[in-house]
Amino acid sequence: MTPSTDALAQDFVRFAVEAGVLRFGEFKTKAGRMSPYFFNAGLFDDGAKLGRLAEFYARRLLASGLAFDMLFGPAYKGITLAAAVAIELARLGRNVPFAYNRKEAKDHGEGGTLVGAKVAGRVLIIDDVISAGTSVRESIAMIHAAGAEPCGVAIALDRQEKAAEQGEDKPWSAVQYVQQQLGLKVAAIATLSDLLQYLSSHADPALSAHFASVGKYRERYGV
């Protein structure tokens, strides 16, 4: 990582902690693991926080060199994220269309499951995290069905841990699965490594105290 992307990740972790989106304690994950931290993107729940989040996504995307023609937000969290990131990209001089899907097909009006701009060209999927790759696979199927090409995924946080769904013989993370098996590039604003770096260097003992438990979690489940 270059110093600039490192700084972006550290700024994002600090923002997520201060916003109460990244919390510490004991949390049960979808995979049934007890995690010492929890990232809930649904708590970016006002205009200021959502706007700042979109700024981080846009800066990471512009720095990544990822080539894309439009954004796609999978229902439900991805809908708000795609719209917010499209607004921020336009503010920074990169105006791109966006679309999203409904969970259920509409049988009146324009019909179908896709809403927004016509899904075409190189399509970048915007989501909060990748837990098992299921949402990404569903998005890929919808994008292909529309005659377009998925080109990558942008997420807020890469947990860098083994995906339980892959089995013990294939200890990939969900992000590695998307990269290696689905062939898509993944741009994450920050990773678990960035979180550990933030905790290790924080002056507040109440925060730095979580470094040991998060580190042990990574030793057990990390990739």
Sequence length of the chain is 223
For residue 47, the one-letter residue type is G
144 is catalytic: no
For residue 183, the one-letter residue type is G
Please give the Cα distance from 65 to 131 (Å, whole number): 24
Please give the Cα distance from 215 to 218 (Å, whole number): 5
Beta strands 122-126 and 70-73: pairing type? Answer: parallel
Contact 21, 43 (CB under 8 A): yes
Q: Select which of 28, 106, 144, 216 is catalytic.
A: 106
Please give the Cα distance from 163 to 35 (Å, whole number): 14
Contact 199, 207 (CB under 8 A): yes
What is the strand order of the sheet 70-73 is part of?
Answer: 112-116, 98-106, 70-73, 122-126, 149-158, 185-191
Is residue 7 classed as helix, strand or coil in its secondary structure?
Answer: helix
Q: Select which of 30, 77, 103, 108 is catalytic.
A: 108
108 is catalytic: yes
**Among the listed residues 76, 186, 193, the one whose alpha carbon sits nearest the alpha carbon of residue 125:** 186
Q: Which residues are designated catalytic?
A: 106, 108
